[in-house]
Amino acid sequence: MTEGDTIQQARAGQAAAWETLVQAHQESVFRLAYLLLGDAGEADDAAQETFIRAYRHLDQFDVARSLRPWLLGITAHVARNRRRSLGRYVYHITRMARLTPPAVIDPEQETAKHADAAALWQAIRRLDPDHQEIIYLRFFLELSVDETAETLGIAAGTVKSRLSRALDKLRHVVHHEFPMLRRAADE
């Protein structure tokens, strides 16, 4: 059975079909929300909201396409709204209150590579939201250029040019603020 068949069943009201689709995509959706919001609790809420919105608009989805970019597009939109609606004040206060800064890593997993990845994430978070999104989609979720274009609703050529600018800015941030990653950026 194809994903399109499962979507048709979900549209017809079969709860099990929809649950299958949620299970298949919940990790990608949650991870993108986590990368964009920087907090597991916020990401959990955003992921749930994404699937609720997606279900309510399932009739508008073209089953000939892949569901993942569509869901990730909704996730990015929900995360943007959450960041905006929470506002800087509440966003920072609630994040501080939870005492779960994103850079904290489980000591058992604190290898050099994990620490580099956490530092890279912190560097990316200094970029504009558009640049963050495109780097997360291409390199963290490993979407193809075409899937990234579909997710963001832009042309493939725009993905390439935006990604190139994002990487340039990231290199600049790393060079000036993240000495542990500087060698990689300067090579």
Question: In the complex, what is the shortest distance from the CB of residue 153 to another protein, in angstroms, rounded to a whole number?
Answer: 19
* Contact indicator for 28, 36 with CB cutoff of 8 Å: no
Structure tokens at 109: 């997993």
Q: Which is nearer to another protein, 26 or 158 (CB)?
A: 26
Of 138, 141, 183, 143, nearest to 165 (Cα)?
138
Cβ 3 to another protein shortest distance, Å:
15
Rule CB under 8 A: which residues touch another protein?
10-11, 13, 15, 19, 22-23, 26-27, 29-31, 34, 40-41, 43-45, 47-49, 51-52, 55-60, 81-82, 84-87, 89-90, 94, 97-98, 105-106, 109, 111, 113-114, 116-118, 120-121, 135, 138-140, 142, 164, 167-168, 170-172, 175, 181, 184-187
Region for 142 from its dihedrals, namely left if φ exceeds 0, alpha if ψ lies in -120 to 50, beta otherwise: left
Beta carbons of 75 and 29 less than 8 angstroms apart: yes
Q: How far apart are CA 118 and CA 91, in angstroms?
A: 20
Please state the closest distance from residue 23 (CB atom) to another protein, in A. 5
Q: Which residue in 21, 81, 91 sits closest to 49, CA to CA?
A: 81
Question: What one-character DSSP code corresponds to residue 108?
Answer: G
Residue 163 CB, nearest distance to another protein (Å)? 8
Helix, coil or strand: residue 27: helix
| Dihedral sign computed on CA atoms, order 169, 172, 178, 182 | positive
Q: How far is the CB of 66 from another protein (least distance, A)?
A: 19
